[in-house]
Amino acid sequence: MTDLYRLPDHRARRRIVSFNRQELSRLLNLYSLRVASGEWRDYAIDFRPGMAIFSIFRHTAEQPLFAIAKVPGSGGNGGGYMVYNGPRKLAHGDSLEDVLGVFDRKLRLLLS
């Protein structure tokens, strides 16, 4: 009389990626230091299929200055963490601390 059809569950196949508590704490610590120095003013966290992105803005209405992405991967499949400045990849590594080192570099004024 009634036929039951099972529809594929897309949520089961799509893996949700997010920052864990330690990662989020580290990101917000870096962010708060830069807000205190007046460099950054806003942030956003996006969860896209297969990746989580922490974006940093100088002004809310602009494009992000930096984007820190978490992409899971197995073995050498390109997983890990990446830091972008627009379309340019600044750092790629297996741990968040590895890629956040790009923000420790400071520009120096050289006097002759």
Question: In the predicted model, is pLDDT for residue 109 greater than 80?
Answer: no
Q: What is the band of 64 on the pLDDT scale with cuts at 50, 70, 90? A: very high
Task: Report the alpha-carbon distance of residue 73 to residue 77 in Å, rounded.
Answer: 5
pLDDT of residue 106 exceeding 80, the answer is no
Count CA within 13 A, CB hemisphere, residue 100.
Answer: 16
Q: How confident is the model at residue 84 (pLDDT cuts 50, 70, 90)?
A: very high
Average pLDDT, whole number, for the chain? 83
22 sits in which H/E element: helix 21-36
For 26, left (φ over 0), alpha (ψ -120 to 50), or beta? alpha
Sign of CA dihedral 2, 5, 11, 15: positive
